[in-house]
């Protein structure tokens, strides 16, 4: 399955210019353990953490620069929504293989927009003190 051939429903401009100047952004409220994708996307815009596919590619090429705490999380890119060949709306994610101390490989994956989002999922944004 080649997700790069899926129809792009929405995507945002490149936001990230320095992988080392990023922060993880939790998106759940204290009384929540998960939310659906449309709510995640709304919160990502509010939190200035609405990254897209170009940001994902940049981070994938520069994972060695990511802060160590990123290794334990699934990085969500809600600024890009694609429609798969079955008509499902999908969001791209970056996941670290094994997430262990010695695992260094990150890979691109995807999840349905109408899935539950929470747990180790995190948004990403440029740190507040950094501007491009």
Distances (CA, A) of 102 to 14, 54, 116, 126: 30, 27, 29, 26
Q: 89 has which bridge partners?
A: 83
HSE-CB for 37 with a 13 A CA cutoff: 19
Q: Assign 7 a pLDDT band (cuts: 50, 70, 90).
A: confident
Mean of the pLDDT values across residues 103-114? 87
Mean of the pLDDT values across residues 21-31? 94
Q: Is the full-model pTM beyond 0.95?
A: no
User: Is residue 75 within a helix (H) or strand (E), and if so which, with residue range?
Assistant: strand 74-83
pLDDT at 1: 55
Mean of the pLDDT values across residues 24-35? 96
Domain ranges across the chain: 3-124
Residue 82 near residue 41 (C-beta atoms within 8 A): no
Mean of the pLDDT values across residues 106-129? 91
pLDDT at 31: 95
HSE-CB for 76 with a 13 A CA cutoff: 29
Give percent above pLDDT 70 in the chain: 89
């Amino acid at each position: 399955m080649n997700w790069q051939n899926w129809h792009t429903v929405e995507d945002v401009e490149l936001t990230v210019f320095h992988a080392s100047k990023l922060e993880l952004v939790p998106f759940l409220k204290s009384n929540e353990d998960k939310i659906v994708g449309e709510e995640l996307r709304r919160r990502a815009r509010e939190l200035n953490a609405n990254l897209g596919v170009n940001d994902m590619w940049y981070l994938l090429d520069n994972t060695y620069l990511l802060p160590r705490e990123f290794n334990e999380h699934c990085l969500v890119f809600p600024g890009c929504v694609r429609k798969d060949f079955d008509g499902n709306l999908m969001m791209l994610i970056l996941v670290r293989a094994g997430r262990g101390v010695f695992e260094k490989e990150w890979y691109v994956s995807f999840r349905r927009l109408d899935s539950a989002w929470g747990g180790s999922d995190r948004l990403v944004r440029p740190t507040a003190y950094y501007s491009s």
